[in-house]
Every structure is written in structure tokens, then in C-alpha cells.
Amino acid sequence: MNDAPSPSSLERADKLQGMGCKRKRVEDVRFTQGKGNYVDDIKLPGMLHGDFHRSSHGHARIVKIDTAKAKALPGVLAVLTAEDLKGVNLAWMPTLAGDVQMVLADGKVLFQNQEIAFVVATDRYIAADAADLVEVEYEPLPVLVDPFKAMDADAPILREDIKDKTEGAHGARKHPNHIFNWQVGDRELTDAAFAKAEVTTKDLLTYQRVHPCPLETCQCVVSFNKILGELTIYGTFQAPHVIRTVVALIAGLPEQKIHVISPDIGGGFGNKVGAYPGYICSAVASIVTGLPVKWVEDRIENLSTTSFARDYHMTTEIAATRQGRVTGLRVHILADHGAFDACADPSKWPAGFSNIVTGSYDFPVAHLSVDGVYTNKAPGGVAYRCSFRVTEVAYAIERAMDIMAQKLGLDPVDFRVRNFIKREQFPYQSALGWEYDSGDYHTAMQKAIEATNYRALREEQKGREEAFRRGETRELMGIGVSFFTEIVGAGPSKNCDILGIAMFDSCEIRIHPTGKGIARMGTKSQGQGHETTWAQIIATEIGIPADDITVEEGNTDTAPYGLGTYGSRSTPVAGAAIAMASRKIKAKAQMIAAFMLEVHEDDLEWDVDRFRVKGNPESFKTMSQIAWAAYNKVPPGMEPGLEAVSYYDPPNMTYPFGAYICVMDIDVDTGVHKVRRFYALDDCGTRINPMIIEGQVHGGCTEGYAIAMGQEIAYDESGNVKGASLMDFFLPTAVETPHWETDYTVTPSPHHPIGAKGVGESPNVGSVPCFANAVNDAFKFLGSTHIPMPHDAYRTWLAAEKLGLHA
């Protein structure tokens, strides 16, 4: 590589629109013109429509299902129940977490809105009307919604199918409603650290149950071709290849005869990783009727049945010295998994990567224990814009650090900085088993406090508190700080698989004779802009303009096998595969160029978009010339063509981090808040497209704001799901959404071919504790320690009431 690029090299580099450039999103050309192709846009000849009859009870035995009236409605072709599915051995399906789940209620229902019967009709509205005509006789059973009561001696037994099993997929079960206990860290050393600690804190920090809420719900169109024995499935799948393999395994169809296609997807956020009853029922209905069947979830179904997230109850203890050095961390998590354990985690991680709970701090010892339990709630446990339970534990550690700082009388920033892992400690081995690849936390925090003028804000806050005490204002000021470390890029095959398939990812690049090309990946964008950014990596690597590379994802017939897009794994894993495939192409191109220029390969050097002869820059071959030669003038013995495939198994995860600061004003008489400032500094290593990163941060912070300040899927004592419509579930619009200030530092990942880490999940992980800390910070001077999420106006008002502020 030439050390000092010439002006013409810089100009040529600009034209490539490679890495680091704010290339405009190419996918938006079709989206902004209403020309996206979503599942609901797919209309096949003779297509039928499916809809569910769902349970009105949270827990009940099914005495009888009468489908006669539904079947009698003109236009209805079939009504499936569990009895029909048993005929094809599909009444139950395996979950990603090693459990089994009813496809249609088999003998009992375990959560409200559970699928009981699937109606297939010629029209969506006839299907819905017929679903209402299905009659179910129930015998109500006692309902269990409180996870803390799940393992009581007199708790109702939910999963009668496994009640006598003392071993589950993740080890011993100590109660019929117990799923697993998972532990990591050194308990003895941790207990010893607590026994001699000068200061300790212990708090139950609950991250409430929420649901991802993509604008497009889960949906599919399934078409079975009886003559060819082929099944084509269009669906909102974040991981199309995994769906193909799961269908092959559970339906017993040859995998090459299953074609899974994810067209455009309108947001995923983890919601579209798993397999749902709607997919199975549509496939069976298509096989039974011989016609294509479409299933489209409505909003209430989406919010109340497909894939909850969080519901982690985290008892978090920190041990520290009086001077403010942490000496131990002890965490117990009670995980409410709902009626079936359908968590979408890599197989060996029943509680995801929750052992990242030590966060950005140098804890010498730590211990984490997680108990998963069944309750009468919807299954799921997905990583809602998060990398497998990372956001839950980021909330726990970031709240707990604030609480400890308060107890020690230290500023939350100063306490954090005192305990940061230092730059020279990377690669850093955490007490709970991870090797953090790179970081520079002190620089990031320093930049954040300077950018927000943090010290002045604290002075202002002091003034406000005094004014409040004097009765001159009813508005409190909270300053929220969070400093998160993420773990993304699942993952290395040594510790990550799904159903036994290692979590590598892939890229295939084909450069055509005219120097243009197509690249296909095993990932699937749901709005992240892969078509834009993947081409940028290729442009920089092989010198072909990004505009000349078409990026295609989501068709299992054409894309190389990959594990899909979730948990910010795309850049760390597929991004690396893209660079490696590009490098294979470049290596072949160098050989072709050497042959064309009649020099040895070692006599060539790379210059943006060409190989040139060292010391003779006028003698060169551009990638476009080389591409042409690859199809007619390759060196003797070389195969023609310019194509490469890479399957990349990362050696480690990547560990992005960030410093977030929020300034909030809260009216104690109404509980209403105003976000005055929100500053988000992210470090995701090498930045591929700064504009897309900014968009990711805006989106993630908006979802984090929604969660912290209002979202909750709660259940009443009878198992009725509350908040399952957008009338009740807080989805911020442009009106409520605060203004986001973004910033960055760059600490490349040492093991990633281009030094990039993921970013999509980071803002959700970092912003939730930041908002929560801001609310708590406002009330701290009045003696309040912890106000639980979500922080909607009523609950904030209630917190003020409890502190006697309304007297």
C-alpha cells in the first residue's frame, strides 16, 4: 500500500463510496416510493388466508372445541385444531431453547390469546369472522402470573407434559414450574469479598416485560407444490436459513425442496427470529388444501403472543471499599419465560450473554445465578434490539453503580471512572468469563462530560434542589449517566450454535466481466441498510464503486448459508465474511494483473481501485480491466471467473461501548418529564457508514426511551394481558421523541478484518439505564434509592407521592 495517497487516489477513493462515507441508503429509493416488496404484497394465484381462534383464558383445560359453525361459513375451506396437527406430528414444535411448544392448544391453554384453532378461508375477513365462530368450552385453572410464586409448593403446575421431568435442556429442575438454573463465576470468592466488604448494596432491579413492536407484524405466505413436493415460504424471517433447516427437521421434508424467502422486512428487533404457530399452521393448511396460504398477524396478536422480551428480576449486589473501588458483584436473576421456554438464544446460553453483567468495570470477583420459571404468559424471550439479555443486565449494573455511588456519596461519573477497565488491560478477561477485545472507556467518558458540560449541569442541579427545598419550584432536575459495554457478534463456533449449527456467517461475491457485481449474504436486513453498507465494504476492499455492487439477502436458494441478522451480529460476523470474500477476489485479481503486466505479483501494489507496478505507477490495471481479463485472459492453469465465497467463524465477539448522558426535568405534581438533552457517544470500532450509524442510534434510543418511560406488557391476576394495543403500549411518535445528540470514538476490534464492531443494539442497551438513572437522579436528594421502570407519568407521580411531595 502506498503511504501517501496522491490527490487522484483520494478522488478515486471518494468515487467508490467505500467505508467511512455517508453513502445514502440505496434501499430507500424503493421504500420512499412505496415500491418495497413486503410479505403482505405477495399475492399468489388461488391464495387462501388463515386466522386464529385464540384463548380467552390465561390457564384452563379445554373441555371441547366445536368448529362446526366456523366450517359452515361460506368461503371457509378448513379449520385446524391440535387433533388435526397430531395426524402430521405437528401438534407441538421444538423451541430454540430446547423445550417444546404447542402449535395449537393441546388439552389446555397456558396463556391468554394462545392459538387454539386455525381457520383457512378464501378471504382475510371471512377467516376472521369464522375464527370468531369457533366455540371452546373451558374449565378454568388457577393462574400463575407472579414469577416469585412459580416455585411455591402450592403453585399450580403449568406444564403437565413435563411435570415429572427432573432434568430439562439446561440441567436439573427443582420444581415442575422450574426451567433451569444457570450459574457462572466463583461463588466462594464472591461471597468472601462480600463478607469483608466495607460497603454493600442490594437491590431488586426489575426490567419489565415488553414486546418488540416492528411496524410490520409477523407474517408468511406458504405454498406447497404437491407435484414437485416443494415448499416455498415467504416470511418475515430474520434468519431464513435457520427457518429452512427447522422446517426440514420438523416436517421431514428434504431441505433442498424447501425455499425460504424473506422479502423486504419492516423492522424485526428480535421479534422475527423464532418460528411461530402461524408459520406451521399455514404450511399444514397449504399441504391440506393444495393452495397457497397467507397468514398476517394483527397488532394485538403481535403484542400479546409473539415473542416477549426481558421480564428479568435481578437482585443485584455490589461490594466496594469506602474509597469507591468495587470488590465484588453478586447477581441473582429470576427469569420469567412464560408458558414455554422459547428463548431465542444460542443453544448453550439459557440466559443469553447475561454474564456480561460486570459491564465496563474491573470487578475482581463476581457470581451470577439465573433461574428460569414458567408462568401463564406468552412465550418468547427474544433479544429486543439487544444481544441476548445484554440490555437487561446493562440496566442492572448501570442502576446498581448509581445506587452504590449514592451510598458512597460519590458522583456517578467519578465512581464509574474509578472502576473502569483501563485501556492497557485489553484484551480484558472478565470475572464472568468473557475476553473483551478492545476499549478506551476513559477517553469516551471524558469526551461525554466535556460535550455535555457535565460539571456545570451538576452545579445547576444543586441550585434547583435548593430552590425546590425553598418551595420556589416544583420541577426537579435529573442527570442520567450510563456507560455500557455490549457483547455482539454471535458468534464463535466454540461457544455459539443454534440447534447445533455453528453461528458463522457468509458472503458470496461474483464480479461480472464488465466489472460490476453481485454479493449475497446469509444475513437479512430489516431496515439496517445492509444493501448500502455491505457494498461499501466491498468497494473499499476491491476498488469497485459501491453503486456497481448489488447486495442481495434473504433467499435461501441463492444466498450462502448464514445464521441471519439479530443481536448486532451482522457487522461482526457477516461484515467480516464480506471482507474475507473480497480479499479472496483481490488475491486472484492480483495474480491476473501480474500476468497482464508481465511482472511478479510481489512487484505490484494496491492503489484504491487498481494494482500498479511498484516504482512505476503509470503501469497499472484497474479492477474493471482485471474483471474483463478474468473471463478471457487468465494465467495458464488458473480457472476463469472472479468469484469468491467466505464462511466466517469469528475468533471472538466484539465489545462495543458507549457513554450516554441525559438531562431531564420532572414536574413532581404531574409526573410529567421533559428530556432536555440526550447525548449518546458510541464506539463501534471502524465505522462503515456514519450516517447509517447515526440512524441506528436514533432508532435504538427511541426504542430505549419507549421502554424506560412507558412500555410494559403486564398481566392482571387472572392472566389477562394488559397493554396489548397501541392505545396502551407506548410507541413514541415524533411528538414525544427527544432530540438525540450523537458522538463517537473509534477503538477498532483487533480481531475483526476491518476492525468493526456492531452498533444496532447499543443505543437500546445504553439508553434505557440512562433514562432510568435520570429519573432516579432527580429524586435522589430526597432520599429515594430506586424507582422501578417504566417511568410513565403516573408512576413518577406515585414515586413523588411516596416521598411525601404532595402533602
Residues that bind ligand CDP (CB under 6 A): 528-530, 533, 565, 568-571, 684-689, 692-693, 696, 756-760
- Least distance CB 560 / ligand CDP (angstroms): 17
Catalytic-labelled residue, pool 343, 386, 496, 507: 386
- Least distance CB 520 / ligand CDP (angstroms): 16
Q: Which position has the grid cell 467508490? A: 16
d(CA 280, CA 94): 12
Q: Which residue, 381 or 760, is less far from ligand CDP as judged by CB?
A: 760
Q: Which position has the grid cell 411435570? A: 163
- Least distance CB 436 / ligand CDP (angstroms): 17
HSE (side-chain half, CA atoms, 13 Å) at 175: 20
Beta strands in 462-575, from DSSP E residues, in sequence order: 475-485, 497-498, 501-502, 505-511, 517-521, 549-553
Active site residue 238: yes
Q: Determine how β-strand 741-744 pairs with β-strand 673-683.
A: parallel
d(CA 585, CA 204): 54
Q: Which residue, 528 or 582, is less far from ligand CDP as judged by CB?
A: 528
d(CA 306, CA 134): 22
Q: Which position has the grid cell 401463564? A: 376
- Least distance CB 644 / ligand CDP (angstroms): 20
Q: Which residue, 104 or 756, is less far from ligand CDP as judged by CB?
A: 756
| Polymer length in residues for the chain | 807
- Least distance CB 530 / ligand CDP (angstroms): 5
| The residue type at 434 | W
Report yes or no: 790 and 709 within 8 Å, Cβ to Cβ: yes
Active site residue 761: yes
Q: How many CB atoms lie within 10 A of CB 356?
A: 29
Question: Computed over its alpha carbons, how large is the radius of gyration of the chain?
Answer: 28
Helix-helix angle 390-408:412-419, to 10 degrees:
110
- Least distance CB 31 / ligand CDP (angstroms): 14
Beta strands in 237-308, from DSSP E residues, in sequence order: 258-261, 293-296
Catalytic-labelled residue, pool 12, 385, 464, 795: 385
Catalytic-labelled residue, pool 238, 528, 696, 711: 238
Give the three-class secondary structure for 609. coil
Report yes or no: 382 and 212 within 8 Å, Cβ to Cβ: yes
Q: Which position has the grid cell 368461503? A: 75
Residue 623's closest CA among 4, 13, 6, 5?
Answer: 13
- Least distance CB 570 / ligand CDP (angstroms): 3
Kindly tell me the sign of the dihedral angle through the C-alpha atoms of 529, 534, 535, 540.
Answer: positive
- Least distance CB 435 / ligand CDP (angstroms): 20
Report yes or no: 688 and 537 within 8 Å, Cβ to Cβ: yes
For the chain, how long is the longest CA-to-CA vector? 91
d(CA 222, CA 44): 10
Active site residue 297: no
d(CA 395, CA 790): 12
Helix-helix angle 623-630:576-597, to 10 degrees:
80
CB-based burial label for 14 (10 Å; 0-12, 13-18, 19+) = exposed
- Least distance CB 741 / ligand CDP (angstroms): 19
Phi, psi of 91 (to 5 degrees): -70, -30
CB-based burial label for 719 (10 Å; 0-12, 13-18, 19+) = buried
d(CA 593, CA 596): 5
Q: Which residue, 671 or 700, is less far from ligand CDP as judged by CB?
A: 700
Q: Which residue, 408 or 546, is less far from ligand CDP as judged by CB?
A: 546
Q: Which residue, 324 or 760, is less far from ligand CDP as judged by CB?
A: 760
DSSP 765-791: HHHHHHHHHHHHHHHGGGT----PSP-
Q: Which residue, 630 or 756, is less far from ligand CDP as judged by CB?
A: 756
Q: Which residue, 155 or 578, is less far from ligand CDP as judged by CB?
A: 578
Report yes or no: 159 and 100 within 8 Å, Cβ to Cβ: no
Q: Which residue, 26 or 692, is less far from ligand CDP as judged by CB?
A: 692
Residue 650 grid coordinates = 469469528
Residue 146's closest CA among 717, 547, 772?
Answer: 717
- Least distance CB 495 / ligand CDP (angstroms): 19
Catalytic-labelled residue, pool 27, 541, 712, 761: 761
Q: Which residue, 102 or 535, is less far from ligand CDP as judged by CB?
A: 535
Q: Which residue, 398 or 486, is less far from ligand CDP as judged by CB?
A: 486
- Least distance CB 533 / ligand CDP (angstroms): 3
Catalytic amino acids? 238, 385-386, 761
